[in-house]
Structure 1
């Protein structure tokens, strides 16, 4: 019996049912069917777009996924640097944005490996590689951690804790390190087995099972979400991601931790967890419509301006605007900064874009003049 604060708690891995999950199939049937239907609808829509637009949509989705899976853990990544890192690895135009933020390339590598190599077996060695990619310096923040290997007994119990020093609350305590070898062997054997479980349910169960074992000192949440993405890619038999489960989880973060904690303190019944996971999956796919719409609007913009003869500076900034990667107002000073050009050049570039109908002045004038995109169908 583990002790969490003042209360005595029995965790699911301490029960006689572990690790035999069970659920109410009648309660899960409808949300599973709905999620599966949405998957099919989205994949069909994407296949109709053609390969080039599929890659553009996948780049936007994976950028969102990398940013939000880190945000769930309280880490803020630069979206443009993430997009640049992904684009370079996908052989696409990186837009000239340098990747300087520590740790971006690692989480990008994990994301791509999970999706593009979803058919490859999930092994302890592969998970160790993911972990090493997440922590290339051997540190988590200011703390030295064991990278690429399971927790060790000498590191003490692994607890999920919140609250101020002296008033901490233990939300969860993972299995002791002495058990990790057999626990992970059982998990990996199950993950690669053919037991008839729907692949989407396998994604949900794998996420829960992995974070319950919590084999690493840090990074378990990000790796669990990568495992879910791998399982979902298998369920769809595609190496493109068109929706971000991590973004959907982050949008319901409090409920995520609540249902996870309740399940880990339960007796092996995962009905509530599966229902919540399937709901977030359906939400993620519904939200993907925005990504698809953005890609189509971008394609329509460039089709409209196919003969406009933009220079490299103009193409770079227009793509950034179309991708939603520019915060604030686009002024001539901002243009000069983005393109590393003079103020006179910035003024000429902007005037040319206005004359060609790609930009229009926003509200205001004089020294505060800024510019906004003219999308097909807008009143210029």
Structure 2
């Protein structure tokens, strides 16, 4: 038995309409600006989702470090464990993103187990098998006392049947809004807890896949994992899951869970819109700065990374502008000589940050905090 999808309230339907309008306007906005402006944003959003979802599970890697790892950088100052978890999650997320428009797509137990192997294959053991249903009990411990089981998942013998039911539900159309179905899929999977490890990230990833399959926005814009990874929101996330009870109790009203997810969709949409607006503003300011200083237009992408993410590496600039190694090195040396950039570190590990002559207007635009509206307030 799975949780029944609750009926939406008048307020829920209003918020859902606002989310739909926001997502449509974002789609048009993304299409109206140069591809170069949005390419960096897509990479940032993917990295932010990976960093946030891993942080919920205790793997702490900053978004800018995740960006570097996803670009193939080897000299990133993170632990080997965090590196492995980041790259494994990125591998799975990349595959999920490619499935957004796959023809003849169907959910299956095989697909879910394959995604789990991508996430957990590097940790596969006989006790905690990757890509296979768990063979024993599993517990979610209380964050305040690991000796207390905050949640006990269904018996392992029930998992195959529950997952069969979930897959049938995933492939059916019950008439609910796709975003509501995605939220319910997250809840179903995290409460069944079918694997020995990795259930939280798999549940969040399934939600991302379902939103991406809905097709309103590119997959990179579809995840709410970055929103869930913010400390205050993570606490609320755990609280909402704990409200479901200490054992699997699917015969209950989960309206609060839907409201929580609608808030997440709405505020993540606001965040992406704000980031896109800010990114475009910074690009324009840096373009004017480069023109006034007689700089090549291509260096704006390097300066934009510094303003928006705090740093840029030579390899990232080289790939973004399709430059030779020598040309990229010369450009960065010239920016350092002009005091626009300042180098940090040596040789392969070197990156560049804002120098004394970096335009303050661009930094101010990139760093100005923007408010988020609670869609249910007022």
Which band: TM-score by shorter chain? 0.7 to 0.9
Equivalent positions of 1:328-339 (< 5 A) are none
1:301 to partner: Cα distance: 5.4
1:291 to partner: Cα distance: 2.2
CA deviations 1:160-219 (Å, max 9, x no partner) are: 112677x73222111111111111111111112122111010111011011011111111
Which TM-score applies when normalising by structure 1? 0.73
Higher helix share: 2
- Structure-1 residue corresponding to 2:123: 138
1:233 to partner: Cα distance: 1.3
Alignment match of 1:260 (pick from 217, 235, 241): 241
Tell me if structure 2 keeps the 8 A contact 1:211–1:221.
yes
Tell me if structure 2 keeps the 8 A contact 1:22–1:269.
yes
1:138 to partner: Cα distance: 2.3
Cα distance 1:86–1:294, how it changes in 2: closer, same or farther (>3 A)?
farther
1:245 to partner: Cα distance: 0.9
Alignment match of 1:49 (pick from 8, 33, 44): 33
1:150 paired with 2:129, answer: no
1:95 to partner: Cα distance: 11
1:50 to partner: Cα distance: 3.6
Distance in structure 1 (CA, Å) of the matches to 2:100 and 2:332: 48
Moved more, 204-213 or 39-48: 39-48
- Where structure 2 has 5 or more consecutive residues not aligned to the other structure, the ranges are 313-329, 343-353, 365-378
Cα distance 1:301–1:370, how it changes in 2: closer, same or farther (>3 A)?
closer
Tell me if structure 1 keeps the 8 A contact 2:287–2:297.
no
Distance in structure 2 (CA, Å) of the matches to 1:149 and 1:105: 21
Instruction: Name the SS of the counterpart of 1:102 in structure 2.
Output: helix
- Structure-2 residue corresponding to 1:333: none
- Structure-2 residue corresponding to 1:232: 211
Distance in structure 1 (CA, Å) of the matches to 2:85 and 2:128: 15
CA deviations 1:48-74 (Å, max 9, x no partner) are: 114333322211111111100101111
Cα distance 1:112–1:55, how it changes in 2: closer, same or farther (>3 A)?
same
1:221 to partner: Cα distance: 0.8
Cα distance 1:378–1:54, how it changes in 2: closer, same or farther (>3 A)?
closer
Tell me if structure 2 keeps the 8 A contact 1:263–1:269.
no
1:292 to partner: Cα distance: 0.8
- Structure-2 residue corresponding to 1:322: 307
Cα distance 1:349–1:55, how it changes in 2: closer, same or farther (>3 A)?
closer
- Structure-2 residue corresponding to 1:286: 270
- Where structure 1 has 5 or more consecutive residues not aligned to the other structure, the ranges are 1-12, 89-93, 328-344, 361-368
Distance in structure 1 (CA, Å) of the matches to 2:130 and 2:200: 15
Tell me if structure 2 keeps the 8 A contact 1:162–1:170.
yes
Distance in structure 1 (CA, Å) of the matches to 2:273 and 2:192: 35
